[in-house]
Amino acid sequence: MRILALVPGGIGDQILFFPTLDDLKQSYPESQIDVIVEPRSKSAYQVCKSVRDVLSYDFKDANSLADWGNLLGIMRDREYEAVISLGQRWTVGLLLWLTGIPKRVGYAGNGAIFLSDPIPLKTQQYAAQMYHDLLQGMNINTTFKGISINVLKTDIDWAEAEQQRLGVAESGYILVHGGSSQLAQTKGIDKIYPTNYWQEIISELQQKQPNLPVVLVKGPEDGAWTSEIIQSSPEVKIVTPGDVSKLAAFIAAANLILCTDSAPMHLAVAVGTYTIALFGPTEPEKLLPKNDRIIAVKSSTGKMADILPQKVLQKIWGGEV
């Protein structure tokens, strides 16, 4: 069976969709599963074991009829037998109908008239569980088991070499990811925790746990943030993973990760690292599973700047670092 999944959204959305893909592959082991994702999200599939091809399409761009026509042509040429879509717009439903794919699974809503198997959308649950519900349209009723990823051996080796280079292989380390994607900032989504608050948290960590190094994750858009942190805490160390798999491997070896609502948070959940995640306007219950290794710190006002450093530190010292 040739199966296609349309998964708009960022890297975090892809990771949340992995359990759906994994159980789909497990139920149809001889199937060939492809996904269509936004260009910014293709790298997520370095750590997904269930997908054959990753195609890209910018769902959020101002696409012309020619763009939609090209996408339709690709989908028709590959002769898929089933398609699963996260998109809820009626235009997406129409696109799926026009492909001629016989089994079209998606959420009940505006485009449900074009679907062969519309599934109720239950938005009040963990997003990965909500995505997993779509498998009902494929006659799959397996229990949701959580997120798992497939980190490459070469990237585990890279992470171990980085730990040696930074001098943290024996001591362990606290990992901090405080960045946010440029897209989130452009859209005005409040995911940035104030740098001076991070500086206060890191300073107390270094005072109370001087033998447990703090390592900052420096992504492509985090240069200014890491530079500011180093100015106040020159003892912190910097790691610059080149891709998602390397980042996952380095997160997996950390004693603790402090982060905001971001792709590294979902990777930390997948690899089982003790996680403290900060949330502004978004709801932790929809983005994190219930797990005693995960602590969400939610702003009472919906603004990241209203989470005081002392509240975060209380969560850290309340657990075991």
Tokens 């069976």 found at: 1
The torsion of the CA quartet 292, 206, 191, 243, rounded to 10 degrees, works out to: -80
Distance CA 6, CA 87 (A): 7
Mark whether 123 and 231 lie in a shared domain. Answer: no
The verdict on residue 144 lying in a domain is no
Mark whether 55 and 124 lie in a shared domain. Answer: yes
Distance CA 287, CA 126 (A): 6
Write out the DSSP string of 6-30.
Answer: E--S-HHHHHHHHHHHHHHHHHSTT
User: Domain end: 138, 171, 205, which one?
Assistant: 138
The verdict on residue 275 lying in a domain is yes
Mark whether 134 and 163 lie in a shared domain. Answer: no
Distance CA 268, CA 176 (A): 12
Mark whether 122 and 161 lie in a shared domain. Answer: no
Mark whether 200 and 306 lie in a shared domain. Answer: yes
Res 187 pLDDT > 70: no
Per residue in 196-224, pLDDT tens? 999 999 999 999 999 999 999 998 888 88
The verdict on residue 239 lying in a domain is yes
Question: Residue 90: what pLDDT?
Answer: 86
Distance CA 298, CA 95 (A): 38
Mark whether 62 and 133 lie in a shared domain. Answer: yes
The verdict on residue 145 lying in a domain is no
Please report, rounded to a whole number, the percentage of residues in the chain having pLDDT higher than 70.
Answer: 95
How many domains, the chain? 2
- pTM for this entry: 0.92
- Check: CB of residue 8 under 8 Å from CB of residue 85: no
Distance CA 79, CA 199 (A): 54
Mark whether 300 and 195 lie in a shared domain. Answer: yes
The dihedral sign for the CA sequence 226, 228, 229, 234: positive
Q: How many helices (H) and strands (E) does the chain have?
A: 12, 12
Domain that holds residue 84: 2-138
Q: How confident is the model at residue 262 (pLDDT cuts 50, 70, 90)?
A: very high
Which has more confidence, 52 or 63?
52
Mark whether 131 and 71 lie in a shared domain. Answer: yes
Q: How confident is the model at residue 62 (pLDDT cuts 50, 70, 90)?
A: low
Q: How confident is the model at residue 185 (pLDDT cuts 50, 70, 90)?
A: low
Mark whether 180 and 134 lie in a shared domain. Answer: no
CATH number of the domain residue 239 falls in: 3.40.50.2000
Res 188 pLDDT > 90: no
Per residue in 67-115, pLDDT tens? 888 889 999 999 999 999 998 888 888 989 999 999 999 999 877 899 9
The verdict on residue 146 lying in a domain is no
Mean pLDDT to the nearest integer, 21-48: 96
Q: Nearest-CA neighbor of 18 among 149, 137, 114?
A: 149
The verdict on residue 252 lying in a domain is yes
Mark whether 130 and 158 lie in a shared domain. Answer: no
Give the side-chain half-sphere CA count within 13 A for 175. 32
Question: Residue 183: what pLDDT?
Answer: 56
Tokens 């079209």 found at: 104
Mean pLDDT to the nearest integer, 162-169: 97
The verdict on residue 192 lying in a domain is yes
Mean pLDDT to the nearest integer, 8-31: 96
